[in-house]
Amino acid sequence: MAGRPATGRAAAGRAPSGKAASGKAAKVTAPRLSPVRLEELRDEPSPDFQRGERYDGLRFSRADADGLELSGTDFAECEFGGVSFNETQLRGATFRDCILAEVYAPVFTAARATLRDVEISNPRWGSAELYESGWTSVRIDGGKLDYVNLRGSRLTDVQISDCIINELDLGSVTGTRVALKNCTIGTLDLAGAKFKDFDLRGTDFRTISGLESLAGVVIDDYQLSLLAPLLAAHLGVVVL
């Protein structure tokens, strides 16, 4: 979708972008994001991470948590700067009121984790297993992600912006007020997902699977032109 043409988007007889054919403005509810404000954090230069423990009000800078078993661990009002979580087991972990900046993980394992009021900036994840997670008021800005598996997760008030994702699996996700803004996505899987106010406008994608789950997804007219051949094939329509 790179190199979007500047003309042809207001052709005669076509409803203006962002408006329904009836002339009424389309209503899309944006994610309701609460800013994370952390004060009086205590620096933890050499953290001794332990499974199932609670960490509250701490700042971790360039810490190494590679390969640790941290299932069920609870992080509240913590800041992570350049922390490495490669092959760390974070299954069922909780992050509340946390900021994660430049977190590094070629293999990121956090299935069934809970994220609430979390800001993530410039992550570098390879394979991210995040299936059956619960995300509420989560923002991801920037970064490059190879494979993100959120299958079966519940996403509420989530925004991912300016991010490059090779493969994003949202199969069987329940999503409310989710926005992908100015992202570049190779493969987007929506099979079995249920959405309300899922804003995909402005995001480039190469292919989408799960076309039967597009209800509740908001796209722009250019994206519709790209989806038209896929939709025709899906419906068995022959275009001559």
The three-state secondary structure class of 59 is strand
Gap between the Cα atoms of 70 and 90, Å rounded: 5
240 and 219 Cβ atoms separated by less than 8 Å = no
Q: Residue 101 in 3-state DSSP?
A: strand
C-alpha 202: how far from chain center? 15
Give pLDDT, residue 117: 98
Give the pLDDT of the chain (240 residues) as one tens digit per residue. 444 443 333 333 444 444 444 445 568 899 999 899 999 999 998 899 999 999 999 999 999 999 999 999 999 999 999 999 999 999 999 999 999 999 999 999 999 999 999 999 999 999 999 999 999 999 999 999 999 999 999 999 999 999 999 999 999 999 999 999 999 999 999 999 999 999 999 899 888 888 888 888 898 888 887 787 777 777 777 777
Ramachandran angles phi, psi of 102, nearest 5°:
55, 45
CA distance 73 to 90: 7
Burial of 6 per CB tally in 10 Å (0-12, 13-18, 19+):
exposed
d(CA 99, CA 35): 10
How far apart are alpha carbons 98 and 139 in whole angstroms?
Answer: 11
What are the backbone dihedrals phi and psi of residue 81, each rounded to the nearest 5 degrees, phi first? -120, 110
**What pairs with residue 75 in β-bridges?**
55, 95
Q: Which of helix, strand or coil describes residue 34?
A: coil
Q: Is there a contact between 62 and 43 (Cβ–Cβ < 8 Å)?
A: no
Closest listed residue to residue 38, CA positions, set 134, 114, 118: 118
Task: Provide the residue type at 21 as one letter.
Answer: A
Q: Tokens at residue 117, please?
A: 């009021």
> 187: which strand partners?
167, 207
Quote the tokens at residue 169.
């699996």
